[in-house]
Amino acid sequence: MKRIIAPSILAADFNNLGKDIEMINRSEAGYVHCDVMDGVFVPNISFGVPVIEHVKKIAQKPLDVHLMIVNPDNLIPSFVKAGASIITVHFEACTHLHRTVQAIKSMGVKASVCLNPHTPVAFLEDIIAELDMVLLMSVNPGFGGQKFIENTYKKVGQLRSLIDKNNPECLIEVDGGVNFETGKKLLDYGANVLVAGSFVFNSDDPVNVIQKLNSL
């Protein structure tokens, strides 16, 4: 099964962001995960289009852009232009989800939908065939370094069953509290993509941590 490690630059050192992106380039990471927060949909503000543009100039891996924002349709074209390879929108933020997904795909990038911890996997039944990836939040979105929510394993298993029946090429990404222990169990339950922020960037050897995650 396909496996990808996606370090989240939300946990990077923004005084030395270029060096941290270069570290990701040297590593076995598959994506650069970019958490965009607006302070409305989630109780935190991170960064926006200008930072994505600068990251794109250095990054040699696809930019996995997670939009934790209200009214994402208004800004999707700007993030695509800035260099996103994958755009993730929240189920909870999209009134017309199918239209949003089709708009993303029409711009030539991959479309992903995120579910917050309280949102059932079954809500994706009517859209799963259209998606390139589903992101499951294993913490409540907004801040890094939170404790992993154990119910996520069950949701990964449910999502794996839904995907295998309807869209086997769709990837399962998990974000929040990923470490060697939770990462191994998530992969065993059927996840493909592990987002790791604090666990990577707070380590003494991030490249080695990424390598170990990739070989779980």
CATH number, domain at 10?
Answer: 3.20.20.70
- Which pLDDT does position 189 carry in this prediction? 97
Gyration radius of the chain's alpha carbons: 16
Report the alpha-carbon distance of residue 167 to residue 58 in Å, rounded. 33
Query: Residue 20: which of 155, 210, 180, 172 has the closest Cα?
Result: 210
- Which pLDDT does position 115 carry in this prediction? 98
> Quick one: tokens of 136?
């499951």
Kindly list the distances between the CA atom of residue 142 and the CA atoms of 81, 97, 108, in Å, as whole numbers in the listed order.
25, 22, 28
- In angstroms, the first-to-last Cα distance of the chain is 12
- Which pLDDT does position 209 carry in this prediction? 98
Domain count, the chain: 1
Residue range of the domain that includes 42: 4-214
- Which pLDDT does position 1 carry in this prediction? 73
- Which pLDDT does position 145 carry in this prediction? 64
- Which pLDDT does position 2 carry in this prediction? 80
Instruction: Write phi, then psi, for 93 (nearest 5 degrees).
Output: -105, -5
- Which pLDDT does position 119 carry in this prediction? 97
Residue 35 a catalytic site member: yes
- Which pLDDT does position 98 carry in this prediction? 97
- Name the catalytic one among 35, 38, 64, 132: 35
- Which residue positions in the chain have pLDDT lower than 50? none
Query: Residue 37: which of 174, 110, 144 has the closest Cα?
Result: 144
- Which pLDDT does position 141 carry in this prediction? 80
- Name the catalytic one among 38, 64, 132, 175: 175
